[in-house]
Each structure stands twice: as C-alpha cells, then as structure tokens.
Amino acid sequence: MEMNKAIIDIKNPVLTIKDLSVSYEKGKYAVKDVSAGIKKNSITAIMGPSGCGKSTLLRAINRMHELYPSIQTLGKIYLGNEDISAIPSIKLRQNIGMVFQRPNPFPTMSIYDNVIAGYKLNGTRIKKSKKDEIVEKSLCDVVLWDEVKDSLHKRGTFLSGGQQQRLCVARTLAFQPEIILMDEPTSALDPIATAKIEDLLVELKKKYTIILVTHNMTQAARISDLSMFMYLGELMEYGITKSLFTNPVNKKTEEYLTGKFG
C-alpha cells in the first residue's frame, strides 16, 4: 500500500531525524523510516492512533531506548549538526529534556530537591544561593512558585496531579535544555490542570523547542505550530498545523482527523 506522504521541509532545523527505524522485536518495526526536521522555538505535535509509534519516535530522540538492550534503532538523529549518538548520553539528555505521560516526581525528594534533581543526581556541587535561584526561576517558569513557595521542603508527591506535572516540567527546565520532549503530558490531568499546562507550553516555546505527543486533536490544533501524523510506524504527513487540520493531503490523516478511526 503506497500512500502519498506529505512532509514539510524545515529550514535550519534544531533537530533532524534521518531514516529512523525502531524495533522492539526482530523484524517488527514500531517506527519505520521516519525523516523530519524540527523547527526551533516551536511546538511540534505528533498525532496518530494508539500504537502507531509516537512514543517510540519521541523516546528515540533522547536515546531512551538504549536502556533496553533488546530495542534496535536504525538511522540517525542530528542535534544541530552533531550526530546524537556521538554525544555522551548523559550530556544529550540534559540538552533534550523529557516530560512523561504520568507526573513522576521523585517520591523520596522534596519539591525543592525535585526541581534541582538533575544537579543532585549527577553530584554537581552548586552554591546554595545559586540553587535557590534555579529553583525559584524554574518554578516561576511553570507558574507553580506561588502555589508551593511555602512548602518547598515537603514531598513532591503531596501535590495535585496538575501541580506534579508542572513540577516535572520545572525539573526539566532547571537545566535549560534546548528541546523538551513531552509524551501526552496532560492525559492524566483534569481539564483545568490541562489548560494550565497548555498555557505554559505556549509560554515556554519562546525559549525552548517543544515536541509534544498528544492524543487530543483539539489540543494539537490549539497550541502546536507544526503537526506530524503517524500511522503504523510511518510518518504520513507533517506540516503547518493549520493547513494540516484544514486541508490534509494524506487520506489516512483526513480519516483520522474526521474521527473515522483512532
């Protein structure tokens, strides 16, 4: 089945994916030959039916698959001009932050420690004043500062789901990464918390580049600049969000957007 794929070309991409394939089991590809560039300071949404490989693609970008020896990855990804496989993974992951589907603050750490977890984890020594500064700045960035500033030394797990998720974003921001990967960051949240995160993302893209996996089409339409549509592991269509939603080129994309499946 050959389909007419429509893939936009991004100039000066901050990230370039080149012929990427990922397989969990031999011979079965969860992501097949995906190539695309990611635009700086934009929100790129990845959509597609369940199991189409969205998460898999996203996780390839910060080499998360390397943790599981059985997963095979082919193709290349470039951060700027540099092949990410040439960058030490611990460095790469600080440059490409990640926020997960379910809020996952470290349960044994306080809110304060959660924010500077990145430094704590790798044993970087920084001054208390510098730490305070980072914590305040990151929490302000995610609009959580006012809510938690009096309970910085309580456990992060006592927060509400939406607050926890913002805390996780703050944790990622603390390193000032270039790119932030987000895998359905609002799917475990209620509508009000979701709206807050969406506002936050729009705010964040001024400084960061965001790649967002989402099941929620209206969310993608609302906040993303560019959208990808994946199907059975392949990238079917990639373009400016507005034109993709109003005038999809690929037939599968159209069916998906009109609710025929998914």
Partner 1 sequence: MGKIRYNKIQTNGFSFRLVKNKVFFCFVIFMSMIAISPVVFIIIKLIIKGIRQINLNFFIDVAPNTLEAMTAIANGEIIPGGIANGITGSILMVLLASVMAIPVGILTGIYLSENQDKIFANIIRNISEILQGVPSIVLGILSYLWIVINITKGFSAFAGSVSLSIMMLPLIIKSTEETLKMIPSTIKEAALSLGVPYHKVIFKVLLPTGLGGLLTGILLAISRVLGETAPLMITALGSSVINFDITKPTSAVPLLIWEFYNDPNLLDLVWSSSLFLMGFVLMLNIIVKRIANKWVYG
Partner 2 sequence: MNGEKITKVVLFVSSLLILFLAAGMVYTLLNGAIPAFNKFGWNFIFSSEWNPTEGKEEYGALSFIVGTLLTSILALLLCIPMSFSASLFLGEYYKNTKIANILGSMVDLLAGIPSIVYGLWGFYVIKPLIVDLGFNEQGFGIFTSALILSIMIIPYATSLSSEIIKMVPNELKEAAYSLGATQGEVIFNVIIPTARSGIVASYILAFGRALGETMAVTMLIGNANIIPKGLFDTGNTMASVIANQFGEAEGLKLSSLIAIGLLLFLITGIVNSIGKLIINKLS
Ligand X SMILES: Nc1ncnc2c1ncn2[C@@H]1O[C@H](COP(=O)(O)OP(=O)(O)OP(=O)(O)O)[C@@H](O)[C@H]1O
Rule CB under 6 A: is residue 220 a binding residue for ligand X?
A: no
Cα dist from 251 to 32, 51, 244, 248, 257, whole Å: 19, 19, 12, 7, 10
The correct pick among 4, 41, 51, 149 for binding ligand X (CB under 6 A) is 51
55 near Mg ion, judged by CB under 5 A? yes
Cβ–Cβ under 8 Å, residues 250 and 237: yes
Rounded CA separation 4/7 (Å): 10
Partner whose binding site includes residue 166, from partner 2, ligand X, Mg ion, none (CB under 5 to 8 Å by kind): none
* Residue 247 binds partner 1, judged by CB under 8 A: no
Q: Work out what residue 79 binds among partner 1, partner 2, Mg ion, none; the CB cut-off runs from 5 to 8 Å by kind.
A: partner 1
Residues 158-187 that bind partner 2 (CB under 8 A): 168, 171-172, 175, 181
CB closer to partner 2 out of 177 and 239: 177
Name residues contacting partner 1, limited to 16-55 (CB under 8 A). Answer: 40
Site string for ligand X, 56-85 (x = CB under 6 A): x-----------------------------
Q: Do 150 and 139 meet the contact criterion of CB atoms below 8 Å apart?
A: no
Q: Does the footprint of partner 1 cover residue 62 (CB under 8 A)?
A: yes
Q: What backbone phi and psi angles, to 5 degrees, belong to 71? A: -85, 135
Listed in sequence order, the DSSP H helices in 9-115 are 54-61, 89-95, 111-115
Distance, in Å, from the CA atom of 47 to the CA atom of 228, rounded to the nearest integer, reads 6
Told to check if 121 binds partner 2 by CB under 8 A, we report: yes
59 pairs with which residues across the strands? none
Q: Which residues contact 38 (CB under 8 A, 6 or more apart)?
A: 10, 13, 14, 15, 16, 17, 44, 179, 209, 211
97 binds partner 2 (CB under 8 A): yes
- The answer to whether 108 contacts partner 2 (rule: CB under 8 A) is yes
User: Tokens at residue 17, please?
Assistant: 């994916």
Judged by beta carbon distances under 5 to 8 A according to partner kind, the member of ligand X, partner 2, partner 1, none in contact with residue 14 is partner 1
Interface positions with partner 1 (CB under 8 A): 12, 14, 40, 62, 64, 67, 79-82, 88-95, 97-98, 100-102, 104, 106-108, 117-124, 126, 168, 171-172, 175-176, 178, 181
